[in-house]
Amino acid sequence: MESDSLGSLTSQIVACRKCPRLVRHREAVARSKRAAFRDWEYWGRPVPGFGDAQARLLVVGLAPAAHGGNRTGRVFTGDRSGEWLYRALYRAGFANQATSLSRDDGLELRDCYIAAAVRCAPPENKPTRTEFARCQPFLVRETLLLPALRIVVVLGAVAMGSFLRVWEVTHHAIPSPMPRFRHHGTWSMPPITLIASYHPSQRNTQTGLLTESMFDEVFRSARRALGKTRRTTPSR
């Protein structure tokens, strides 16, 4: 798969129908809807990456939520995990606002791009190995199309594993020793630094495994690593 811009790659992602199980699920959810969102026209397609094409920070999640990204069409938008993520990005200076409700809500990312290991909402939030593999080329291309990339924050052990497989493809190498997931673990992988965080899922946040101060510190670390200069040109 080749794409010379994030825009053309986005078109390829949105049109993808490679995984029959995911296609059936995302479209069934879009038809049935959740009662609270019965007036929404669900997106019901793969969810592309979102953010600044000149970003130095890449955030990698797992997959869209059935009634979040699969509803709104934007990654981490319209669900509880997104509420945590965008608040943290806002406080660290990577977003112009702390809320992410819909594709036309005025949210802009600065020096940050967000993607996912799998682009369709999976049943029970559990993609199969084959589904991960079919989506991997999208993350490979995004990584290559972010020329200023310096920091990668992975949300959860599964996202971390996906990104390391991408890194092996793009750089023909894996760090030795292999990074083992731990919250706020940091690894030098020139030209980038990899930072791991617990995923801001309700399971992790409601049990206290991940607190907002812990999550904030991850993005403060990213900000410190990038230096105090904040790029002022936002990208939607």
Given a contact cutoff of 8 angstroms between Cβ atoms, the answer to whether 143 and 149 are in contact is yes
pLDDT of res. 176? 82
* Domain presence at residue 41: yes
- Alpha-carbon dihedral angle through residues 41, 88, 219, 157, given to the nearest 10 degrees: -50
Read off the pLDDT of each residue in 76-105 and give the average, rounded to a whole number: 98
- Show the tokens assigned to 91: 């406080």
In a domain, 233, yes or no: no
What CATH number is attached to the domain comprising 73? 3.40.470.10
Could you tell me if residue 37 is inside a domain?
A: yes
Distance CA 9, CA 185 (A): 30
Average pLDDT in the 5-20 region?
97
Per residue in 47-72, pLDDT tens?
Answer: 999 999 999 999 999 999 999 999 99
Report pTM: 0.94
Token duo for residue 6: 């994030």
CB 110 within 8 A of CB 94: yes
101 to 55, 77, 82, 120: CA distances (angstroms)? 22, 6, 9, 18
129 C-beta neighbours (distance < 10 Å), count: 7
Of 4 and 26, the structure prediction assigns the larger pLDDT to 26
- pLDDT greater than 50 at residue 233: no
Answer whether residue 232 is part of any domain. Answer: no
CB-count burial class (<10 Å; 0-12, 13-18, 19+) for 215: buried
Res 173: pLDDT:
81
Count of residues in the chain: 236
Residue 180 domain-assigned (yes or no)? yes
The answer for residues whose C-beta is within 8 angstroms of residue 222's C-beta and 6 or more apart is 57, 92, 151, 153, 195
Number of domains in the chain: 1
The answer to whether residue 142 sits within a structural domain is yes
- At 51 the three-state DSSP class reads strand
Provide the domain limits for residue 101: 6-226
Inside any domain, residue 236:
no
Three-state secondary structure along 68-83? CHHHHCCCCCCCHHHH
Residue 231 lies in a domain: no
